[in-house]
Amino acid sequence: MNSAAKLAINGGTPARRKPFPAYNTIGDEEKRAVAEVLDTGVLSKFLGTWSEEFFGGPRVQKLERDWENLFGVKHAVSVNSATSGLIAAVGAAGIGPGDEVIVSPYTMSASATCVLFYGAVPVFADIEPETFCISAESIEPHISSRTKAIIVVDLFGQPAEMRPIMELARNRGLIVIEDAAQAPGAKYFGQFAGTLADIGVFSLNRHKIIHTGEGGVNVTNDSGFAERMQLIRNHGEAVVKEKGVANIVNLLGFNFRMTEIEAAIGCEQLKKLPALLAKRQQVCQQLSQMLAEIPGVIPPTVRHGATHAYYLFPVRYDENELGVPRKIFCDAVRAEGIPIYEGYVEPLYLAPLYQQRIALGKNGYPFANSTVSYQKGICPIAERMHERELFILGMCHSQLTKEDLDDVVSGIRKVAQYRDELRSAALA
């Protein structure tokens, strides 16, 4: 051990010696709600036939009504995951073989692969360097005669710049789907994220701000989109005749149904969202102020007119300022006991799916007849963020204390302060 070392990675004392508190929003309210469902013996009330039970049981329908009331939308459609919700949204939008959908390269994979299920092809537009969302400026050059829709992701909890995106879409006759999985409760000029486009998709996955283990909710103000998402959710092909649906495009349905237990938990979680989000925002805003004093470390930017849900806490790293590569810096911060990871996801188009142009079947469908490029370099900002500039503090949430925040900042400040020691060790 180097007794003169200040940094833990070189043998010094770590800034943090104990784990950070886990994020747990499940309490007695959820336990009682689940017990009530169990007492009924009915864990799901969906039927895949045209009947009153086609729309699910009382808890499912209550969650949908509660979601509509909180977010101020006409229609909420619960699903068993946000991935299912994205697939249902793309189907409801009428996307089909030969179509193109403009998507983000820097997001969870389903935000792009959802279009492949309908034989359409994702086209990747680059992200903004400060907010990590695609923009009207990056979208417009990719619009072609084949473009039918845009999927916008409110990444890390920050709403995208939706006004110009929606104006562009209206001028070009395009449908916009907003993936708000990470941004429940965030706002853009006073309007909730997820309600800013033609269809919005929320997640209730286990690590979201509120959750039901697995689950999701789609929202729209268009009754036609709502009906089609309900049909796709629950074996639409089996009921269109009795329901009298004339346009059966994309109504080959799935089982995307939410259970009564998940919905019961969701109703209780939804009540908690405003308070959980307000505390999370308070914690993360305080952390941003503290980190802003450290050279080479740039806390999250919140765009004008928006609020941030801080699903994750993204930080930009300036190697020119600190003089060491991001990996070496992050290794040193982790040694100080601060959970941190480099980048977010590899830009999606670099995955084997796109590089080998193989999705459905062995003959390259639906890529075979497409000239869309997935070569490295098509989204340089996303690649730069992933390879050099972005790191994530993933443990930032509403249950952190001032002591926890002090330790986070202390660990990062310590590494920045003693970066000469870090450089010397790296060169040795």
Q: Hey, CA dihedral for 142, 130, 344, 307, is it positive or negative?
A: negative
Q: For the packed helices 28-40 and 260-291, what is the interaxial angle rounded to 10 degrees?
A: 160
Q: Which residue has the tokens 């980048």?
A: 343
CATH label, 28-270, candidates 3.40.640.10, 1.10.3720.10, 3.30.200.20, 3.80.30.20: 3.40.640.10
Helix, strand and coil in the chain, % to nearest 5: 40, 15, 45
Measured in degrees and rounded to the nearest 5, phi and psi for residue 87 equal -60, -45
The pTM of this model reads: 0.97
Measured CA to CA, the distance from residue 231 to residue 254 in angstroms comes to: 9
* Token pair recorded at residue 296: 């080479």
Q: What residue ranges of the chain have pLDDT lower than 50?
A: 1, 3
Measured CA to CA, the distance from residue 153 to residue 108 in angstroms comes to: 9
Q: Residue 19 to residues 12, 15, 108, 392, 404: CA-CA distances in angstroms?
A: 18, 12, 27, 17, 10
Q: Is 208 a catalytic residue?
A: yes
Measured in degrees and rounded to the nearest 5, phi and psi for residue 23 equal -95, 115
Q: Do the beta carbons of residue 341 and residue 394 sit within 8 Å?
A: yes
Measured CA to CA, the distance from residue 204 to residue 321 in angstroms comes to: 39
Measured CA to CA, the distance from residue 234 to residue 79 in angstroms comes to: 10
Residue 282's pLDDT is 97
Residue 428's pLDDT is 55
Measured in degrees and rounded to the nearest 5, phi and psi for residue 133 equal -105, 155
Beta strands (DSSP E) in 137-253 are: 147-153, 175-179, 187-188, 191-192, 199-203, 216-220
| Neighbouring residues of 218: CB distance < 8 A, sequence distance ≥ 6 | 76, 77, 79, 85, 88, 89, 199, 200, 201, 202, 229
Q: Which residue has the tokens 């009504």?
A: 65
Measured CA to CA, the distance from residue 204 to residue 371 in angstroms comes to: 36
- The residues spanned by each domain of the chain are 28-270
Catalytic residue of the set 45, 148, 208, 414: 208
Measured CA to CA, the distance from residue 378 to residue 396 in angstroms comes to: 32
Residue 426's pLDDT is 62
Closest C-alpha to 125, from 386, 372, 391, 315: 372
Residue 379's pLDDT is 98
Furthest-apart CA atoms within the chain: distance in Å? 79
Residue 427's pLDDT is 59
Position 131, amino acid: T
Q: Do the beta carbons of residue 80 and residue 86 sit within 8 Å?
A: no
Measured CA to CA, the distance from residue 300 to residue 33 in angstroms comes to: 37
In sequence order, what are the beta bridge partners of 360? Answer: 365
If you count them, how many residues does the chain have? 428
